[in-house]
Structure 1
Amino acid sequence: MALRLISWIKIWKSSMRYKWMLLLILFSLTPLVVMGIISFSISKSTINDKVTQYSEHLLYQTADNLDTRLGIYKDMMMQVLNNNEIINMLRTLDESAAVSYDVDSLSLTTKLSTIVAINQDVQSISFVSQKHYIKGIYRWSKRTRTEVKPFLLTLDDGSNFRWYSTRYGTYVDSLNSQSNYVFSLAKQLYKISDDSPLGIIAILDIREDVMKELISKAVSNNEDLQSFVIDGRGMLVSYPDSKLIGKSVTEVLGASGYEQIKNSETGEQRFPLTYKGDSLIVNTKKLHSNDWVVVNVISKAALYQDSNRLLQIFIIIALLCIVFSILAAVVLANSITNPILKMIRLMRQVMSGELTVRYKAKSRHDEFDTLGDNFNYMVTRIDELLKAVYAEQDQKRVAELRALQAQINPHFLYNTLDMIKWTALIQKANNAAEMVSLLSRLLRISLGKAEETVTVEEEIEHVQCYLGIQKFRFNFNIETVVEMDDDVGLLQTPKLILQPIVENAMIHAFVDRESGGRITISCCKVPGQGVRFEVADNGKGMDPAFARSLLAEPTSGAGKTGGIGLANVDERIKLICGKMYGIEIQSEPGIGTTIRIMLPLMT
């Protein structure tokens, strides 16, 4: 028994895994989580059904109220259209020879007031025909034929009513003016005696506020529910925000929402919708009076807010249980977190540059001691590597200083070459003068700047000077062509990258050929990649495997002809421009060799 107890103590001291297992057992969260999830799912489903039923009930109630109110307006319109005295006045006014398009009659206004003006919902009533605009109660501020034209479409409907969506209108009389959002009911007038059409349309303008008030009363107890009305074309007839009235419902529900409403076959539907990151539930019902649709929208966040409150209660209960479990696990947690916190403090000291810190183990023989030993080894290695880097940098600075001291004074060299050139010209040694001039230009580019880069123009000029000197030196019969796009001349490039390549081509490509040799040097932009140099010759070519080896061995003899090997040029490009750039060799025996240099756009 004692031995078993001792073995358990050793396990306790040596392995952190068992400590975490004990923590999880102490918490015992699994039963609580399972019960919470099941209870929450059931309650959420129940609350969802009840809220959905309530939303549909409000939708039907709103639609019925609107149908009832629209029916009242139809009855009011029929009272006007069935009044023989009003019909006769309108016929007389329309058939009059009045020159003005805009006509009115005090008798007509007085008569209409007894029928229409008592209803505060009505903003105005007007009458239009092909010849006249006839004022009823309040006239439109804009009464042009263009404004009237859409209402003349009612003539095509026979004896049917036509509803017009909400618009913003201004109405005037002799004393004042009013501006409101209104929707309209229109119907053609007929003779009461023989039911023949008169060609006159009655237009009843009703304040949109009335519809908005009916809707707001229905949903007043639910602030999370949004209700509005659209017409058959998807335009907003009534909406809580008046700025959106007359605009497309896509402004509120998006194109997908409108498509689902438009494609409804029954006129009633319920569907989920995601718009601008919000998850919504949309209920719609078409009115009986016209093709308008009542739309109720509620967000899922609001729908589930009651269930979320229930979830919060579950969470509180779970937290209380966790607190009691934590109290029992504090000692155990400290035994785990204290070494971690200590390690974090040491790491921050290392980050600040203090590499003398070390983790001191407490002979616990667990994972933390192993981690501490590895940490100490890592810090020691970092310290050693940094010291090695500093020493290397010191050596590099010494080498650069020695190289600087060994340089020839460029100005003295340029002036001397210039003197040699003029001396040769005076003595009629034109070839010598031209060679000195080329050498001077070549040295100005290669030695005249301390920077690692030159412009593309300067690099091209450098290789042209080199070719000019080689022609005098060897009297070779090789045609050279230089092509450079206009937009690359001022871009930067690592210097002295073309001359070694051209030198290799001259020395190796045309060994067995006395004439017909050609070297083409080009430079252009490559969209999305950068700048590309290309040196192509029609020489003897080489085996592709050997061509690849030229970039792999910086010290190979073939690669270093001309002073700087191809591999060294490729390595220098990668150091300056990045690993993705450099030299690519494409060669085929008997055909020739093409060497491409890819560089980034450097300005």
Structure 2
Amino acid sequence: MRRKTLSGQIYSYFLIVIILSLLSVGAFSYIQSSKALDGQVKQYMEQMIDSASYQTDSYLQAYELLSNTVSSNSDVRSFMEMKPDDSYEYYVYSDKIKKFAEASVQSVVTLYKQLNMIYVVGQHGRSVIYENQNLLNFDPVLVQEQYDNLMKIAGDGKIALLNMSIRPVDQGSVVTMARKVRGPSYGDENRGVAAIEIKLAELAKTWDRVSLGKEGFFFIVDDTGNYIYPPTMGQRKPKDELSSLILASGNQTFIHKYNGEERMFVSRKSAYSDWNLVASMPVKELRRPADTIRTTTLIVGLVTLVVALWLAYRFGRSIIAPIRELKESMRETEKGNWQYIDEIGRTDEMGGLIHSYNLMVTRLSDMIERVYEAELEQQKNALELGETKLERQRAEFQSLQLQINPHFLYNTLETINCYAIVQDSSEITEMVEAMAFMLRYSVQTNLEEITVANELNHVRNYMIVLQHRTGKEFEIDVAIPPSLLLEKMVRLTLQPLIENIFQHAFPDGVESYHYIRIDASKEGGLFQVFIEDNGIGMKPEQLAELRRKLEENRLAEPEEVEGKGSLERGGIGLMNVHRRIQMVFGEAYGLSVDSGWGQGTRLTMTMPETARPRIRG
């Protein structure tokens, strides 16, 4: 199985983080920008169509006023009642209608350019056709054919917009606005049709303002599915698939494949003319800005990825290189070659680690030299002092070795235990086992988190040794709920407090009414352990002095007490426990003391309920 390297793991993690970041940012940006652009284009097309529809309706309403004027003219209505064979009467009405048409058109100059012709046709077959100040004559059969069509399509008294012309040559280039006309009496039935033909070329100037890019286009479909504009669309069959979709969509936007290309169609139906004004643009053109954003994002992302991976590679090398150098130096040190590492130019944490390594190597080298010198000196003295002193010096040297190497003491205690078992001494066995467990637990000097159960077990071993030393039995009341036995706390904090109680709370010895109680609780994000006794307690000035020392947040040092030959250690254990809790969990936690003279003492260790250890260098 291939071993994973630290540099490979750092590089892999950097790669995953960078790729995930780029993918998430790129995808989110592309999706959001695409939606925003689609919405803006759709809104732009809708505004263009709404504007074109409004202007078209305005033009057509102006023509409707002209149509109303023509259809309500008394001469036009009388013309519908004339005798078809009376040439004189026809001449009179034709001249009157021509003069009326000229006056009407000249009064509305803005309509002049768009106007193709004005004509009235009666059911008697006679017609008056006016074009640009002239009266035209048409084939009566053709006129009758158009009249029949107009009478079928035109509404009763309402305006009808028709894609037709009375003149074949104008078919497809004009749109006809027609209205049925009654006789002189308003109660009469419809006697004919008055129609106005409007040039699409002039009206199209309004529609040509709809800017839809190179591949976009604008067209109009009437309510029967016929294509009104542009003329090229008139070649399509009425009510084909496209016009059917437009009629069915109403004012909705839809996407349809037109001439092998997907296009977006935005339709608006005019409330006045019942025309459907439609704008169309290719989907690929709509998505072109989004595609540009996507391409740019990919290019920038790839460049960023390459640069980030290069930086990650350099960063990994800057971390791994000194670690590898430190690893090789430690291998040489294991072989007995005291190898030092150059510290020049290294001021970061790695430099501090290398400095500590060099300092350790220096001290180990000095200690080895001292041991060798002591051993040589002992050998010299052994030769001079004789066999007895030599044996004594060997014992002292072995004692020194036991202090340097705790494993020697472990083996010695195991040997004593074996002898106790052979001699059937359960007291010695129990005491040695407890002492060995305490020693193994105590020599681990790192401030790591352990469980409450571990600390209670250490206290139990301490009580075993203490009871064998004093010959008195004493039980500690443990009231900690089972659910809190696996909570985390700092190593070697509970036993020193118990030892402090035995040393100072019961100065006259432990009596049967004395007690020590250990309890714990969790509340408000805090985990607290309480150690309470009913000893002599503390005087107010002693309690104030102890609290002042706890507030200084410093590890205590033993001090010489005047008039005594030994070191006074009262309070050292408490302050060290307090400071070590703060070194692991932070300044907000630690040990607090409540006591009264003759009323006992209550010690409280406060730690976070759930926290990671914070070891400060």
Common fold, TM-score beyond 0.5? no
User: TM-score category by the smaller chain?
Assistant: 0.3 to 0.5
TM-score, normalised to structure 2's length?
Answer: 0.42
Kindly name which structure, 1 or 2, has the bigger radius of gyration based on alpha carbons.
2
TM-score, normalised to structure 1's length?
Answer: 0.43
